Amino acid sequence: MTNDIGTSPRQADPASTLPEATGVAAACRAERVLFLHENLRQVGNGIEIAGIRRAHLFHGQLGITPWILTSNFAPHLRRNEALLKDSGMLPLATKVLNVYDWLVDMSDAGLLTPLASLPSAPARARPNAARPSLRKISHPAAWDSTQTGCEEFELANGQVVMRKTFASGRGGADLQAIELRDAQGAAITYASESDFVCAMMGANLEPDVTWHFLVDKNKMYRKLRQSAVCQRLHCTVSAYLHSTHRLSNGQLKSSYRHLLEDSDAFDSLIVATEEQHQDLLETGVPAAKLKVIPHALPRVPETVETASSPEKRVIYLARYTPEKQHELLFQAFERVLKKLPDAQLHTHGVGPLQAALQARVNASGLAGSIHIHGYASDVATLFRESSLGVMASSEEGFSQFGLECLAHARPLVAFSVKYGPKDLLEGRHAGILVPPGEIGAMADAIVALLEDPEKAYDLRFGALVSAERFTADKIAQRWSTWWAEVREIARHRESLTLAS
């Protein structure tokens, strides 16, 4: 049994070769930047949004067109990609790869052979050219007395190219193994999604290219450094931390533990705030490998209007998930309404808690004052109609909403949690920081700004000044430094390999 997929056909793409960085000697091989994600959706999470905006920054500011690799099975990926590009959100030249597309390519090339059908599986459908090239089929009938089950990935011809088996665990179904078969029919098995994804990268990415991996979804790619990818390919590994690295109990988060316990797992570790940078230095992360590169504004900050918003309207853009603490915000806003009955709170986003939060607001009789909306595409209009923004989350890696709030000249009221709010507001005269979880203090801060439009208007100037630090040209300078450094690391590593 082996964990080696082997070699798949590759096509060179000279047009994607990256330009040379200023002051760095040209390398013999092409170089590419590859963002490592799980998904790429029209309405994605903060990590996906950050990656899309960074692709624009690289393309427009640095002259680099990055590629994006997604690791999740996504039947609608190509439709989402087309919509993102048609809307201008994603640069047209950005190439989007998917791990599961490689299964089809490798099967077509004869590098993978079909798996045998399960005894309890239903009869296979006949080949159909109109069917998707790959589809996922769950087999509840295959669950046996030990509570094991499977997912099969079937080609258009009805053959199964990959199977995932699961066992019942505390958190639901736990992955037991991923199975494929090579060209000779020998079994290839992987114990984790990360093992499988990294093996597919090693088998399908061009070996004559120097790859600069920028890992946005660290848990999925945690096996990258010790995998065949780094053994077969010339590459560097940079990891971006999009959230806090510790749980509330002080323990390291599982998504980042492999990075913080082994500095050899990365060439560069990137965070968005100075505060997290300092905390990581104190945990022992080498200073030479640590970088602070905040998210950039997608547009130039606006100007302060001559008049404030006529309505007492507060805005919060965040996913409806536990860490965003909408319930806590609602409790604070109930106190606001006792002093300012005409105040309005508007939340926008998507997420699993949206329906429950709407039911909670309806039950409390506050649906006329607290409005829960879905995804908002025209955020500029929402900010213009609002008096101020509020952030109630228990943790942040940076907060793109907070930054956009300031860029639209709106003061921000936020819990002073790690990380982000302090970098945006502390000492900036751009809003009000309140102690984490203190709903009374948050309510008082909101009331103070809604009751005093002149004070809120004054804070708008500080908001713009704070936001100016994050314009694309300024953040591009930091990425340019990173780009020169990782290229030098790759060249030095290759020279050592040649010398040995």
Q: What is the pLDDT of residue 144?
A: 52
Mean pLDDT of 194-200: 95
Q: Which amino acid is at 436?
A: P
Q: Which residues contact 113 (CB under 8 A, 6 or more apart)?
A: 107, 181, 182, 183, 184, 185
Mean pLDDT of 329-339: 97
Residue 66: closest CA among 21, 39, 31, 98: 31
13 pLDDT band, cuts 50/70/90, is: very low
Report pLDDT digits (tens) over 474-496. 999 999 999 999 999 999 998 88
The more confidently predicted of residues 443 and 22 is 443
Mean pLDDT of 41-46: 87
Starting at the edge strand found earlier in the chain, the sheet holding 160-169 runs 134-138, 148-155, 160-169, 172-181, 187-190
Q: What is the pLDDT of residue 2?
A: 40
The more confidently predicted of residues 11 and 357 is 357
Report pLDDT digits (tens) over 48-107. 999 999 999 999 999 999 999 999 999 999 999 999 999 999 999 999 999 999 999 999
Please tell me the distance from the alpha carbon of residue 270 to that of residue 245, in angstroms, as a whole number.
Answer: 12
Mean pLDDT of 328-334: 97
Report pLDDT digits (tens) over 426-452. 999 999 999 999 999 999 999 999 999
Tokens for 307? 């008049």
Average pLDDT, the chain: 88
CA distances (Å), origin 186, targets 111, 166, 204, 489: 11, 21, 19, 38
Please tell me the distance from the alpha carbon of residue 408 to that of residue 406, in angstroms, as a whole number.
Answer: 5
Please tell me the distance from the alpha carbon of residue 169 to that of residue 147, in angstroms, as a whole number.
Answer: 9
Report pLDDT digits (tens) over 268-301. 999 999 999 999 999 999 999 999 999 999 876 7
Residue 90: closest CA among 317, 374, 298, 318: 298
Please tell me the distance from the alpha carbon of residue 132 to that of residue 306, in angstroms, as a whole number.
Answer: 55
Mean pLDDT of 207-216: 96
Q: Which of 16-25, 259-268, 343-352, 397-406 has the lowest mean pLDDT?
A: 16-25
Q: What is the pLDDT of residue 103?
A: 96
Q: What is the pLDDT of residue 115?
A: 94
311 pLDDT band, cuts 50/70/90, is: confident
Q: Which amino acid is at 224?
A: L
Q: What is the pLDDT of residue 25?
A: 34
Report pLDDT digits (tens) over 362-413. 999 999 999 999 998 888 889 989 999 999 999 999 999 999 999 999 999 9
Tokens for 306? 């001559």
- Name the 3-class secondary structure at 383: helix
10 pLDDT band, cuts 50/70/90, is: very low
| Other Cβ atoms closer than 10 A to 113 | 15
Report pLDDT digits (tens) over 108-147. 999 999 998 776 555 555 655 556 789 999 876 555 555 6
| Other Cβ atoms closer than 10 A to 257 | 16
The more confidently predicted of residues 167 and 54 is 54
Q: What is the pLDDT of residue 298?
A: 80
Angle at 399 between CA 395 and CA 402, to 5 degrees: 120
Q: What is the pLDDT of residue 42?
A: 86
Angle at 486 between CA 484 and CA 487, to 5 degrees: 65
- For 239, the enclosing helix (H) or strand (E) is strand 234-240
Judge whether residue 203 has pLDDT over 90. yes
Q: What is the pLDDT of residue 138?
A: 86
Residue 349: closest CA among 62, 1, 45, 3: 45
**Residue written as token pair 């309505």:** 311
Residue 204: closest CA among 65, 81, 98: 98
Q: What is the pLDDT of residue 131?
A: 60
Q: Which of 141-145, 165-169, 451-455 has the lowest mean pLDDT?
A: 141-145
All structural domains of the chain: 28-110+195-296+471-500 (3.40.50.2000), 114-181 (no CATH), 313-470 (3.40.50.2000)
Q: What is the pLDDT of residue 23?
A: 31
CA distances (Å), origin 143, targets 95, 135, 137, 139, 174: 39, 20, 13, 7, 13
Q: What is the pLDDT of residue 499?
A: 79
Please tell me the distance from the alpha carbon of residue 161 to that of residue 152, in angstroms, as a whole number.
Answer: 8
Q: What is the pLDDT of residue 172?
A: 64
Tokens for 117? 């059908």
Q: What is the pLDDT of residue 475?
A: 97
Mean pLDDT of 192-210: 95
Tokens for 136? 């996922």
Contact of 225 with 266, CB cutoff 8 Å: yes
With b for 16 or more beta-carbon neighbours within 10 A and e for fewer, the 163-191 pattern comes to: bbbbeeeeeebebbbbbbbbeeeeebbbe
| Other Cβ atoms closer than 10 A to 2 | 10
DSSP string, 258-280: HHHS-GGG-SEEEES-HHHHHHH
**Residue written as token pair 């602070």:** 292
